[in-house]
């Protein structure tokens, strides 16, 4: 089978519209930029307050960049899914193989941008509430959640954290483990009462349909989170 460069096609205007039907609304915080020197000398803010305010703006700017890439990757992922293919590569028609390859590629990238966005949100929460965790040691986990004093925000973060647990497992599967979208036929050694046995994996994998469902669920959870955070975190 030969795949040429012109077999890979960008989403058309119609395909983009169809893909965005399942794309929920989620926006950045919208923090205003105030020069640190203006904050210090005109508004009489402390060095810490001026730095915090300026850095919130720049982290939000970074989040906007990530959200843009997240939306675009979603459109490419869904478009290739909508174009159709078989999860069983041996049954996939030649004219659908590119759709399968492209879907796998963009789905993996989607999870990268999704959790990159999540980690930037964690940095903004850290800065906003002046949480004492170093930037390079911060994770979107219980250590952060326990230090959030605003109960409404804490509840929203906990809900999002739990709702995206499967997405986190998917992402780790793509990045660190045997690819979850490939049939797993690896051999397995088990020990039962001192006796070792060797068996072969049954070829289980996560279907493209389940991946799409998880992607849409994850974005809906992100939309809910951002609405709650923007309502309670504003400068």
Q: What is the mean pLDDT of each run of 10 residues along the chain (235 residues)?
A: 87 97 95 74 66 87 98 98 89 88 95 97 96 93 94 97 94 79 75 79 81 97 97 85
Confirm whether pTM is higher than 0.85: yes
pLDDT of residue 44: 65
pLDDT of residue 220: 98
| Nearest by Cα to 170 from 199, 212, 139 | 212
Q: Specify the pLDDT at position 93.
A: 84
Over the stretch 5-47, which tens digit does the pLDDT of each residue have?
888 999 999 999 999 999 999 999 999 877 776 666 566 666 6
The 3-state DSSP class for residue 234 equals coil
Q: pLDDT value at position 4?
A: 84
Contact criterion met (CB below 8 Å) for 108 and 174: yes
Q: Which residue, among 43, 39, 101, has the nearest Cα to 76 in the 3D structure?
A: 101
């Amino acid at each position: 089978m030969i795949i040429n460069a012109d077999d890979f096609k960008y989403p058309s205007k119609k395909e983009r519209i169809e893909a965005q039907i399942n794309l929920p609304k989620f926006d950045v915080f919208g923090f205003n930029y105030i020069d640190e020197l203006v904050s210090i000398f005109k508004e009489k803010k402390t060095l810490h307050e001026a730095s915090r305010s300026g850095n919130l703006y720049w982290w939000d700017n970074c989040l906007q960049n990530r959200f843009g890439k997240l939306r675009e990757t979603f459109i490419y992922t869904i478009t290739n899914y909508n174009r159709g293919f078989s999860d069983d590569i041996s049954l996939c028609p030649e004219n659908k193989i590119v759709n399968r390859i492209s879907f796998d590629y963009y789905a993996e990238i989607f999870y990268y941008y999704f959790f990159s966005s999540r980690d930037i949100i964690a940095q903004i929460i850290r800065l906003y509430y002046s949480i004492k965790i170093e930037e390079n040691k911060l994770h979107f986990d219980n250590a952060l959640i326990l230090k959030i004093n605003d109960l409404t925000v804490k509840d929203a973060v906990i809900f999002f954290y739990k709702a995206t647990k499967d997405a986190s497992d998917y992402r780790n599967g793509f990045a660190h483990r045997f690819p979850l979208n490939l049939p797993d036929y690896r051999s397995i050694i088990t020990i039962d009462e001192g006796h070792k046995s060797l068996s072969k994996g049954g070829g289980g994998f996560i279907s493209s349909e389940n991946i799409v469902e998880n992607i849409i669920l994850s974005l809906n959870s992100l939309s809910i989170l951002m609405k709650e955070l923007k309502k309670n975190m504003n400068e």
